[in-house]
Amino acid sequence: MSWSVNISMSSSEDSLRMGFDEFEINRMTVRMGQFFINTGMRVIFGHDWRDDGVMRAIANYAEIVARHEECSPDDKDSWRMLNVVSTPRELTSRHAVDAENNARGVLRLECLRDIEQDIDQLSVKRYLQDSITSHKERGIELTKLGCYITQLLDPGCRICIGGRTSGFEGREPDIYEEARLALCYGKPLFLMGGFGGASKKFGESPENEYWNSENGLDQREKDDVFKTTDIERALNIVSRGIARLSGRQQV
pTM for the full predicted model: 0.86
Beta bridge partners of 190: 159
Question: What is the SS3 assignment for 158?
Answer: strand
Alpha carbon 99 to chain centroid, angstroms? 19
**Residue 94: which H helix or E strand, with range?**
helix 94-102
- Return per-residue pLDDT of the chain as tens, 251 residues: 689 999 999 888 899 899 998 889 889 999 999 999 999 999 999 877 766 678 888 888 888 888 877 665 566 667 899 988 877 777 677 777 888 888 878 888 888 767 666 655 545 555 555 554 444 556 677 788 888 899 999 999 999 999 989 877 766 788 999 999 999 999 999 999 999 999 999 999 987 899 999 999 999 999 999 999 999 999 999 999 999 998 854 44
- Laid out side by side, the sheet with 4-10 consists of 107-111, 81-85, 42-45, 4-10, 156-162, 189-192
